[in-house]
Structure 1
Amino acid sequence: MNHSQTRFAQALLDPAQACPGGLYAWNGSDPAERFGIYRNNVVVSLVDALAQTFPVVQELVGEAFFRAMARLFVQAQPPRTRVMVWYGADFAAFVESFEPAASVPYLADVARLEMCRVRAYHAADAAAVAPEALQAALADPQQLAQLQLQLHPSLQVVASQFAIVSLWAAHQGLLQVADVDPALPQTALVFRRGLEVDTLEISAAAGGFMAALQQGSSLLAAAGADSTLDLPAILALLIRQQLITRIHTGELPHGYHHP
């Protein structure tokens, strides 16, 4: 990007900056006026994109507050790629540090959950292993100590001090908002089956176990010594939802990257 392009991009998202020099309108109209209209359209489009990604966040604070907050985010963190589906990846961190939103302490974690749903929807496909293959591996003492489970690329865990799963569900019409206690800690499991993204509440221990598997820990190491961990129930959930995509021992295969 040359100097002129840089100045144009900076002025486009900063209303305090004047219209860049050297602009001309084909019909002789005022370039500054036309640039102002273009600037507003760009910002509005980016705010609209954030509203589509974070609909529950918007409902929690109201459209006016959300759009004002999103506009500041757009000015601070403009898109860095043409792939707009990922725009807003840093929005939760912005919300967390946005002082006017401090009275809604769970807002940032709800944003994290909604962004995870976007990531899950666009994650790669992967076929599940047969349950019989997992049962055979678990029954083999020689493999068990080194056994590793590779989870579906769409699977993500969001642990929160707040009731993010219930808050999200209430805004889908699955629960009554009045029945939700936001101060109740919850851990969310987000994944995709086919074209549908699911969001389930799991225990904190189950969330830690799955996160450890994603980081390459063996089955036994991921299970650790947490007495609250119900390993059979977690494995049953992963099998039922077709979220185990590979069984192996030792190092992960060359070229594999953790999600």
Structure 2
Amino acid sequence: MRQRQTYADAFSPALIDPDHQTPDVVAGPNGKAAVKRYNVYRNNVTVSLIDSLAAIYPAVQRITGIEFFRAMARFHVRATPPTSPLLFEYGRDFPAFIESYEYAQAMPWLADTARIERAWLDAYHAADAVPLAPERLAAVPPERLADLTFVSHPATQVVRSRYAALTIFSANRGTESTGQIDPTQSEDALITRAENDVEVRHLPEGGAVFLTALLAGQSLGHAAAAALEEVPDFDLGASISGVLAAGAFIAAEFGEES
């Protein structure tokens, strides 16, 4: 049996598509057509979503300029309607859109900069948790350290880039000068929030491989081996200290096999 179309089902689809005609269910006083009223509402919805993207991706807007950003965001809004009533949830696929956006191809690092911004917002809204204290590892017998697995902090994310996306992000979110930037230098970023403030840290060579493996539930030994395979002089001790200092994990435990 065919379900009856609701008012919302008829009203919503045309909101972000200016080429879509005003739904028949929309009417003004005395049943008269309300095309102009609907178009005003439709424009307000689009502007609100563009404003939301600008609030989520301020560094991207600063890089491109307001006019370019809002034109790009408008195309994204038309192609991708929101699926959540929470505006901060909107725009998760905006970095992927930027990557394919014709007029952004001259800035190949822009999409990864946006990915760091999205990770920053997700970390900001992540659940609170007490980070793992470094001294907890000091109590583990050295011969058993390799068997440890870690529970990640809800805010912890890694963003890898073939470009200097982290430096570009920092230069356009902060007030301090970063000097001349070579955008072709690859960078990996750790994003987390140990306490109140979101931290974005540069990961050393091999650090992203190491941390990603730990986040995937692999043991410390396997994660270290993966990092050393990619970077033979990978500094394991410094990397462990760094991720613990950043509050990337909340617990360490022994796997079932140990």
TM-score, normalised to structure 1's length?
0.90
Which residue of the partner structure matches residue 238 of structure 2? 233
Q: Distance in 1 between matches of 2:142 and 2:102?
A: 54
8 Å contact kept, 1:159–1:204: no
Letter of the 1:7 partner, please give it.
A
8 Å contact kept, 2:15–2:42: yes
8 Å contact kept, 1:117–1:197: yes
Count of residues paired in the alignment? 249
How far off its partner does 1:251 sit? 4.5
Q: Distance in 2 between matches of 1:9 and 1:22?
A: 11
Which residue of the partner structure matches residue 164 of structure 2? 163
Residue correspondence of structure 1 range 113-132 to structure 2 within 5 A:
113-132=116-135
Q: Does 1:248 align with 2:249?
A: no
Q: Which one is further off, 196-205 or 53-62? A: 196-205
**Structure 2 unaligned residues grouped into runs of 5+:** none
Letter of the 2:177 partner, please give it.
L
How far off its partner does 1:174 sit? 2.3
Q: Distance in 1 between matches of 2:234 and 2:122?
A: 27
Letter of the 1:214 partner, please give it.
L
Q: Distance in 2 between matches of 1:202 and 1:145?
A: 21
Deviation string, structure 1 residues 3-48 (Cα, Å, up to 9, x no partner): 5433321111110011111322248875100000000000000000
8 Å contact kept, 2:160–2:189: yes
Q: Which one is further off, 47-56 or 26-35? A: 26-35
Cα gap change, 1:145/1:184 in structure 2, threshold over 3 Å: closer, same or farther? closer
Q: Percent identity?
A: 38
Deviation string, structure 1 residues 156-193 (Cα, Å, up to 9, x no partner): 111101111111111112224x5111111111111113
Q: Distance in 2 between matches of 1:26 and 1:180?
A: 59
DSSP-derived class of the 2:12 partner: helix
Deviation string, structure 1 residues 112-142 (Cα, Å, up to 9, x no partner): 00000011111111112332221122x341x
**Structure 1 unaligned residues grouped into runs of 5+:** 253-259
8 Å contact kept, 2:147–2:220: yes
Q: Distance in 2 between matches of 1:46 and 1:247?
A: 41
8 Å contact kept, 1:148–1:250: yes
Q: Which one is further off, 24-33 or 234-243? A: 24-33
DSSP-derived class of the 2:210 partner: helix
Letter of the 2:158 partner, please give it.
V
Which residue of the partner structure matches residue 78 of structure 1? 81
Q: CA RMSD in A?
A: 2.0
Q: Distance in 2 between matches of 1:193 and 1:246?
A: 13
Q: Distance in 2 between matches of 1:175 and 1:9?
A: 45
